[in-house]
Amino acid sequence: MEKHRLPDTPFWVEPDSVGSDHLELSPQESHHLLHVHRAQPGAPFQATDGAGGFYECVLESVNRHAAVGRIVERREGAGELSRPIEILVGMPDRRAVEQVIEHAVPLGVTAIDFVVCERSGPGGTMSPQRLVRLARVAKAALKQSRRSRLPKLGSSPSLKAALGGSSEGGAVPGAWRRFLADPEGEPFPPGRIQSLKAAIQLAVGPPGGFSDGERALLLDSGFSPISLGPSRLTTETAATALISLIRNSL
């Protein structure tokens, strides 16, 4: 008898499709499980709901083309870092936006705000439809990385608006530490984050970098400038490098 093979990545399940002991995948996710993996009743699979829930399941039945799984084990916060990391990204071009998400989500960020800066290209903030499309990119990255909590995606019309609307607004003063990717900054010292019981907010400029006024605003808002080395980096590369630096320091 052939042994059931666990799919390599978990499946996405909407939080309201999770019950006390069963969950139901969407038709699209069910198609992938049933027809790509050719799963039969009794096959194990995993699911994540993006709200912190991660589930070990066994395929029990098919209900109108939707796979129904019996929940064997629930894990809360699987694949998540010990503290939140938010990042403000100066608006790059469309493809770079997707690259930031594709790399930032597996690295553990909890929120990404694409900010219209003085040196951003034309176009302004992202439309709700565009953010919905990007949410699909984030979900794919979430499944691939086996995380359980989907990062919040946003688009602010200015750096001032982004700083005013960050999660820090309701935090205790000093509860957040802020770091800015900056050619004039100092190298990041190993162990600097480990001793700090704080959530983290990062900032990376658009192509061409932050303007002098935007840089001054960030410094006045408590961002510490951090050097990422002597070479010039694109926005998406700088974002990945800065997140990785902080993640590895946790």
| pLDDT tens figures, 9-29 | 999 999 999 999 999 999 999
Q: For 37-75, write each residue's pLDDT tens digit.
A: 999 999 999 999 999 999 999 999 998 889 999 999 999
User: In 3-state terms, what secondary structure has residue 60?
Assistant: strand
Task: Work out the average pLDDT over 168-180.
Answer: 63
Domain borders along the chain are 11-76, 85-249
pLDDT in tens, 205-218: 999 999 999 999 99
Greater model confidence, 1 or 214: 214
Is the distance from CB of 174 to CB of 222 less than 8 angstroms? no
85-249 has which CATH code?
A: 3.40.1280.10
CATH class, 11-76 region:
mainly beta
The pLDDT assigned to 169 comes to: 41
The answer to whether 69 and 23 have CB atoms below 8 angstroms apart is: yes
Cβ distance 75 to 18 under 8 Å? no
Handedness of CA 182, 160, 100, 122 (dihedral sign): negative
Number of H helices, E strands in the chain: 6, 11
| Averaged confidence pLDDT in the chain | 91
